[in-house]
Amino acid sequence: MDQARAERTLRGMGEFYAGGPAQSAGPAAEAALELFHDAARSVPAYAAFLRAAGVDPGTVRSAGDFDRLPLLTKDTYHRRYPLPELCRDGRLDGCDMVAVSSGSSGTPTVWPRSVLDERAVAYRFEQVFRDGFRAGERRTLAVICFALGSWVGGMYTTAACRHLAAKGYPVTVVTPGNDLTEILRVVRELGPLFDQVVLAGYPPFVKNVVDAGLAEGLDWPALRVKLVLAGEVFSEEWRDLVGGRAGLTAPLADSASLYGTADAGVLGTETPLSVSVRRFLAGHPDALRALVGQARLPTLVQYDPMARYFQACGPTLLFSSDGATPLVRYHIADEGGLVGFDEMLAFCADHGHDPLAEAGSQGGAPRLPFAYVFGRSLFTVSFFGANVYPENVTVALERPGVSDWVTGKFVLSTAETADRDRELRVTVELAAGQAGSAGREAQLADAIRAELRRLNSEFAHYVPDAAQLPVVELRPAGDPEYFPPGVKHRYTRPAPRTG
């Protein structure tokens, strides 16, 4: 069973990693159908789920039949059945570890894992390290800045980097976790011994690392830093800001965001090609709206449909993937959409952009489809009928004259005043050693309003002028109520009434 699963998990990757054409939708759909039948036979929970839904696996013979299968969710599937029954043959001992999600929606979830899952994820890391960072020819220190322990990000990233080393890449891994003092210590001691240093972590924390290093006199450009990021959407202004402070020289290739989840590991990765498209969209709001139907900038990745078979479900995404707990038409609830490779190039050409020409000089352009991801719909605030997104607000914090005294973290909420009026509130974390003032709060409120009006047409048209200026509160770095260190940050929350 392990050998068959390994062949199914890794099928098609040799062609991609040899630089060949991407797999077509036909073989990918066939592989997903094969996965369905294997899961229906061997996974007790999935067999029970199908029986409860009245589905006879023998009648599912085509891609059209597959597309009508019921969706899996955490509530209807993962939390409904005992953990061993989610695994093949109902055996949890067939897995060599478990991972725990970070609990973005409030409740952490346990996911069984095996070394085969790590191998599939390692291919995604190989794409980034080889094509963007040229790690096959450069001695590379990979510094794991994600939280360690049972949380999935740190352990998975560590495992994937070690798989690259085992494959022959000159990659050395060090695991300080999210201990800022230890990160700077190991970077200062070990970084000069390598050709480049890769910082892997959650974007706001990586920015903290870079800023703290600068404050201590660390010469980031001399270390030839690269960034691996995951966990949230960030703006291209953020990429330029942090990249400038860290001394990054190739904006398309020196940083890469991973679209990952505890449910199935890494689903897609930024490539120089996708970054080129995203940077173009960031500067052309009309093209952005034409492509994704919204004014907010999503994460844009490329993915291998043979390993992660994505489908659109209205405005959200679902995928099928093999693993210790196979998932068939799993609805992860991320807002986003899919764009084919040729479709994306045609769209860019129609809008006057040639990403192939730009990306070819900075790490290549794999012929793989694109997925754009906004994140979970719960990370929005409704204000006068307009959806206010953190992605719109974050740009204001990255403006010159502001970015030097804030970390980039904030909490977006609405509240009812004593007069029963609604107000938009933004609580912002100050950088270490910085002090808040009424003047700075007013400056930032003006900047946030300007960016919301520029980027969010709903906000500009739905929210009355008198209500568009947000109430900004500046709080110290590491504020325990809003910005506790060491946990995954939430950018939205309900606010209590003030009267």
User: 72 with 43: CB under 8 angstroms?
Assistant: no
Domain shared by 343 and 416, yes or no:
no
Query: Rounded distance, CA 279 to CA 40, Å?
Result: 43
Q: Is residue 360 part of a domain?
A: yes
Q: How many CA atoms lie within 13 A of 359 on its CB side?
A: 22
Give the pLDDT of residue 494: 57
* pTM for the whole structure: 0.79
Domain shared by 372 and 387, yes or no:
no
* Number of structural domains in the chain: 2
DSSP one-letter code for 151: B
The enclosing H or E element of 273 equals helix 272-283
CA max distance for the chain: 68
pLDDT in tens, the chain (499 residues): 455 554 544 444 433 333 333 334 589 999 999 999 999 999 999 999 999 999 999 999 999 999 999 999 989 999 999 999 999 999 998 888 888 775 544 456 888 888 888 888 899 999 999 999 999 999 999 999 988 877 778 888 999 999 999 999 999 999 999 889 999 999 999 999 999 999 999 887 888 899 899 999 999 999 999 999 987 778 898 899 899 999 999 999 999 999 988 788 899 999 999 999 999 999 999 999 999 998 888 999 999 999 999 999 999 999 999 999 999 999 988 889 999 999 999 999 999 999 999 887 665 678 999 999 986 555 778 787 677 888 889 899 999 999 999 999 999 998 866 655 678 999 999 999 999 999 999 999 999 999 999 888 778 877 878 889 999 999 999 999 999 876 677 888 754 433 3
Query: Rounded distance, CA 333 to CA 154, Å?
Result: 23
Give the pLDDT of residue 203: 83
> Per the structure block, which two tokens stand in for 269?
């990765």
Domain extent for 172? 113-307+334-376
| CATH code of the domain covering residue 228 | 3.40.50.980
Domain shared by 353 and 433, yes or no:
no
Give the pLDDT of residue 40: 97
- Exposure of 342 by Cβ count < 10 A (0-12 exposed, 13-18 middle, 19+ buried)? exposed
Domain shared by 287 and 409, yes or no:
no
What residues pair up with 201 in beta bridges, in sequence order?
A: 229
Query: How close are the terminal C-alpha atoms of the chain, in Å?
Result: 62
Domain end point (choices 343, 359, 376):
376
Q: What Cα–Cα distance (Å) separates residue 437 from each residue in 286, 406, 476?
A: 36, 12, 12
Q: Is residue 210 part of a domain?
A: yes
Give the pLDDT of residue 420: 57
Q: Is residue 246 part of a domain?
A: yes
Domain shared by 212 and 354, yes or no:
yes
Domain shared by 279 and 394, yes or no:
no
Domain shared by 223 and 371, yes or no:
yes
Q: Is residue 303 part of a domain?
A: yes
Question: Residue with structure tokens 């080889």?
Answer: 130
Domain shared by 215 and 259, yes or no:
yes
Domain shared by 459 and 418, yes or no:
yes
Give the pLDDT of residue 466: 83
CB atoms within 10 A of CB 462: 16
- Exposure of 253 by Cβ count < 10 A (0-12 exposed, 13-18 middle, 19+ buried)? buried
Q: Is residue 410 part of a domain?
A: yes
User: 96 with 111: CB under 8 angstroms?
Assistant: no
> Per the structure block, which two tokens stand in for 488?
């995954």
Give the pLDDT of residue 460: 84
Q: Is residue 284 part of a domain?
A: yes
Domain shared by 347 and 279, yes or no:
yes
Give the pLDDT of residue 107: 59
Domain end point (choices 324, 357, 376):
376
Q: Is residue 453 part of a domain?
A: yes
Domain shared by 210 and 252, yes or no:
yes
Which segments within 242-326 are labelled E, that is strand? 255-261, 265-269, 299-302, 309-313, 316-321
User: 102 with 232: CB under 8 angstroms?
Assistant: no
Q: Is residue 369 part of a domain?
A: yes
Give the pLDDT of residue 486: 65
Domain shared by 371 and 393, yes or no:
no
| CATH code of the domain covering residue 395 | 3.30.300.30
